[in-house]
Structures are given as structure tokens and as C-alpha cells.
Amino acid sequence: MFRRVLVATDFSRYADRILECIGEIPGMEEILLVHVLTRPNNHAPQRLEEKGHYLRQTTRVPVKTVLVESVDGDTARGIITTANNNNSSLIVLGAQGKSFIGELLLGSVSKEVVQRAGIDVLVMRFRGLEGEGSVLIDKFCRNIFSHVLCPVDFSRPSGKTVEYLKSLHGIRKVTLLHVIGVSDPGQDQIDEAMRELLKIQAAMESSGIMAASLIRWGNPVTEICRVAEEQDVSLIMIARFGRSDYASNIPLGRVVAGVAAKAQRPLFVLSPHLSLTISVRELKVGEFGLAEQVWLTYHQQKADPATDRIFGVFVEGVLAAVARCRRHPDGLEVDGVYVPADYRDRGYARKAVQALVDACGSEPLYMHSTLTLVPFYQSFGFDIIPESALPLSIRKRFDFAGGNLEGANVSSMRRCPDRH
């Protein structure tokens, strides 16, 4: 399972503790021990080789030492690049440091690796090693997979995490946790979540893994960290993305980022390989509220079932782009083309507009385009026209510009069906 494991070391007490406990990871075939050199250090090669020799003796696993020179001081990039170049299946590093109020935090390098790595990351934590004068509480290396807390939100990523856990050897117990993200859920909601959890628990148990199911409600990050302490788990395993964010254009899911920052237990961040399910279609009238939610940050527009046809791109069932064709008494207007920030730069706007053009393009289509998007709409066959060529009802929508649309950063455009 963990064919080639990259272990990052900075020669600190925390890093040495990781080397002492790395043997608790099952199924390792090779260890890549990496130190990123951000400034000249004549002793680094010798120290790295000494650490490598220690690992060979204690794990009985082949160890390769790699000294990486970072020209820009980006230690995280050096770790991630080395992992990718060596086809590593897992990055192991430590978390250390406290905020001024004593809250455990990820170190800056660990935080960057968790955010940016495209492979699985194991962040080790040892209680009592955060400060030089503190007493080591974790005196002995604990089997990292002896009791795993697995937060489940019933999304595809969490499903992949469950399947991954079932494939691992050495798992003794898994606690499945679903957090309902409201402060006062209804009993029906609680019962439904428990039914789904018990199905997963049964599948776990059929694989020979002892499992238990818990339901909590409130803030997911707070509850995951609280349950980890209450249950005295050896590891939290969570997918890089959850239901609400894995299809969006962010480097790390909101919940896992919060857990990584606050949890006081080792954390395994799984990066499941998923192909997003994308569908493009016209919205039903009953779905117009979804478009209005998307438009909340775009002039708070409202949909009108009497005049509007709305086309959307759904990514994993979430509306990620919209485009509207509105019928006026004297013509069809294209507007409301919008993609929320988290879903941009993936071609979703193009898919939505193409669906609109395919459905409505048998008639002339008119629109007001911002100047920067004129080339985008020209690719669909729209041409720049004078404002006077717009149908009167559509032209009146921009009366505030006083005939100077360009001064309002807008250009009139038309798509004629007989040209396509």
C-alpha cells in the first residue's frame, strides 16, 4: 500500500520522533528520507546519512537519503517536487508550534505541503514536543492505525476514504463520524444519517474491521477534533475535499484545513483520484432558486418563469455556472452568465453559453457584453453592433449609460441564426 514513503526531516526533535515511530506504518517497501537545504550547511549530508542509517536499522526497510537544495527557500515545494519525481505514495512530516494563546498549529512547511501536495500526506503529532521545556507525553510509539477516526459526509471523496481504509492492513478499529452542520437538526435528519452510517459500518465489519458509528452536530471541525480526543483515536483520516468543496477550484477543503490546523492527533489527508461528474442542461422552473443563489454575488438577479430559460453546468450535482435567455416582447436577450469564484478557469461558462445557444439560437440573440468578454462571445458567433440596432426593450435596460455603452464598459452584440 505504501510502496515508497517520503519522510521529511529538518533534524529537529520532532523530526527525530517521527523517525522513531515511522516503523508503525504498515507495508512500506522503501523510505525516501529528505532534507531540504534552504541555506548552506556543511554538516547536513553527514547528519542526513546518520538519520538514514538509523532508519535502516530500526525499520529493516531500504532507505534512500536525498538532500534537496531549495534556491527560493520554498521547503514545501522541494518536498512535493521530490515526492512527485520519485513516485512517492505518501509524504510523512511533522506538525509543531503553538499560537500565542497556546493552540496547536501546523508548522508553516507542513501547512503548505498539506495544501499543495497532490498525494496522500500523513501529519504526525506528538503531545509534549511543541516546546523545548515540555514533557513528552507520548513516550511510546503507538500503532498509527490502531484506532482510526474517519469523518464521513456521504460524498464520493469520503466514500473513497472508506474504501481505502478497508484495503489497509493492520486496522484494528474505525470510528465513523458524521457531523450535521447545524446546531439543532431534526430527528428525521439524525435518523437518516445514522442509517447511512450503519450501512458503511456493516461494510467495514464484513471486511474484518471493528467499527462504530457516531453522529454529532454543529461545527464539523470542532466536533471532529472533540471526538478524536474523546475516543482517544490514534489517527484521523479524512479526504482532501468534502461534499461542499471537492469539485471547486480550491487547494484544500475547508473542513480538512480546519482539522489540520486544530487537531491534536496525527492526521492522514487522503487525495483520492476522482473524475468529476459534470452535466449541462436547462434548469426546470423548480430549480430557478438554485440560479438565484448563484446570482447572489452577481447583482442579486431574480429569475422569472414567465420569460426566462436558464442553462446550467452541474458539477457533482452542484450548480457551478449559469446562463440565461430572457424573452422580451421584441427579442431574446442573453444575460446572467456567471460562474462563482471557486469554479472558474475550468471552461464551465463556455459550456453554459453553448447550451443556451444550442437551445435558443434559432432566433436572433442580443446581449450587452463587458468589453473584456467580447472575444469570448464572438467565439459563439456574436458580433458587435451599434446600440441603435438593439431591440427597444433590451436597449432600455442600459438607458443609464446615456448612449455611451463603451464608457460603461459594455458593448452591444447580436448573434444571427442564418449565419451559423
Query: What is the per-residue pLDDT for 108?
Result: 80
Tally of residues, the chain: 420
Q: What is the pLDDT of residues 302-325, one digit of tens each?
A: 999 999 999 999 988 889 999 999
CATH class name, domain 4-270:
alpha beta
Name, in order, each residue with C-beta under 8 angstroms of 361's C-beta and a sequence gap of 6 or more.
381, 415, 417, 420
Give the pLDDT of residue 282.
Answer: 98
Q: pLDDT digits over 177-225, tens only? A: 999 999 999 999 999 999 999 999 999 999 999 999 999 999 999 999 9
Q: Do domains 4-270 and 278-419 have the same CATH topology?
A: no
User: Would the pLDDT of 99 be above 60?
Assistant: no
Residue 296, classed as helix, strand or coil, is: helix
CATH 3.40.630.30 applies to domain 278-419 = yes
**Mean predicted confidence (pLDDT) in 59-86:** 90
d(CA 309, CA 288): 9
**Separation CA 193–CA 202 (nearest Å):** 14
Tell me the pLDDT tens digit for each residue of 13-71.
888 889 998 888 888 899 999 999 988 888 999 999 999 999 999 999 999 999 998 87
Per-residue pLDDT at 283 exceeds 90: yes
Q: Which strands form 267-270's sheet, in the order they lie side by side?
A: 63-69, 30-37, 4-8, 90-94, 120-124, 267-270, 235-239, 147-151, 173-180, 210-217
Distance spanning both ends of the chain, measured CA to CA: 54
**According to the model, what pLDDT value does residue 104 have?**
38
Domain ranges of the chain: 4-270, 278-419
Instruction: Report pLDDT for 249.
Output: 62
Instruction: Name the nearest CA neighbour of 397 among 323, 301, 293, 322.
Output: 301
Average pLDDT, the chain: 87
Q: pLDDT tens, 264-281?
A: 899 999 988 777 789 999
